[in-house]
Amino acid sequence: MNIAYSTELICFLILSAVIVSGSLAVVLLENIVYSAFLLGGVFMAVAGLYLLLNASFVAAAQILVYVGAVNVLILFAIMLVNKKEKLKPIKGLKTRKLISGGVCGGLLILLLRVSITTKWNLPGPTSIGEEATERIGEHLFTDYLLPFELASILLLMAMIGAIVLARRDISISTGDINDFKNKKSLINKKIPLLSENSLK
């Protein structure tokens, strides 16, 4: 056992401990803000795992997309609606928790069984390191072109949906606002944040 291998092992153990405990904390913590921040930590630890596998491009992409975009958006949403109020007690919370715990446990056992019984092809193919970026691009534009395009269409749809949701139905003509001669025009034009139509 040489130094490189042992450092790798130690890193792997630390990262996996962080991932497991972090994700447990994300689920179990009462404070939702803590959960969100810990989620970011878990994402980063996953990126660390990718790094250990010599997949630096995937690791960077993981950080960029999950930490930089997804997690920040989650945090934004939490902080903009951060009301410190007690949630209504839900009836039968205990049984619900038990059921969901059971389902999760079952899933875990299933996964464990799969991972133990499968004959892993060890050692796997040697990692290609820096060439990975090119290889990913190649695959995305040849074998996986269809899923790639489908995903982009999905994202486009989501974007249009977001715009439709966020858009105000009335349009304010800027000419009226800048109408300085008729000074009342601004006062008369009370601009509702949500017009009646969009609420229906």
Partner 1 sequence: MNSGIDLEMSFTQGVQNLGLSHELAHLLWIPLPMLLVLVSAVIGVLVTVWLERKISAAAQQRIGPEYAGALGILQPMADGLKLLVKEDIIPARADSVLFTVGPILVLVPVILSWLIVPFGQNLLISNVGIGIFLWIALSSIQPIGLLMSGYSSNNKYSLLGGLRAAAQSISYEIPLALAVLAIVMMSNSLSTVDIVEQQNTAGFLSWNIWRQPVGFVIFWICALAECERLPFDLPEAEEELVAGYQTEYAGMKFALFYLAGYINLVLSALLVSVLYLGGWGFPISIDWFSSLIGLSIDNPLVQIIAASIGIVMTILKAYLLVFLAILLRWTTPRVRIDQLLDLGWKFLLPISLVNLLVTASLKLAFPITFGG
Q: Does 162 bind partner 1 (CB under 8 A)?
A: no
- Tell me which of 40, 45, 48, 49 binds partner 1, using CB under 8 A: 40
Q: Which stretch binds partner 1 (CB under 8 A): 36-44, 111-119, 136-144, 172-180?
A: 36-44
Closer by beta carbon to partner 1, 19 or else 58: 58
Nearest approach, Cβ of residue 59 and partner 1 (Å): 8
Binding partner 1 by CB under 8 A: which of 21, 35, 133, 198? 133
Decide: 52 and 6 in contact? Cβ < 8 Å: no
Site for partner 1 in 71-100 (CB under 8 A): 71-72, 75-76, 79-80, 82
174 scored as a contact of partner 1 (CB under 8 A): no
Residue with tokens 């803000």: 33
All residues at 6 or more sequence positions from 9 whose CB lies less than 8 Å from its CB, including other chains:
none
39 burial via Cβ count (<10 Å: 0-12, 13-18, 19+)? buried
CB closer to partner 1 out of 107 and 151: 151
- Find the binder of partner 1 among 56, 136, 140, 170 (CB under 8 A): 56
Helix (H, G, I), strand (E, B) or coil at 6: helix
Distances (CA, A) of 65 to 61, 75, 117, 164: 6, 14, 33, 24
Residues listed for the chain = 200
Q: In whole angstroms, what is the distance from residue 11 CA to residue 9 CA?
A: 5
Kindly state whether residue 61 participates in binding partner 1, applying the rule CB under 8 A. Answer: yes
> In 3D, which of 43, 59, 41, 51 has the Cα closest to residue 11?
51
Interface contacts to partner 1, rule CB under 8 A:
2-4, 7, 33, 37, 40, 44, 56-57, 60-61, 63-64, 67-69, 71-72, 75-76, 79-80, 82, 129-130, 133
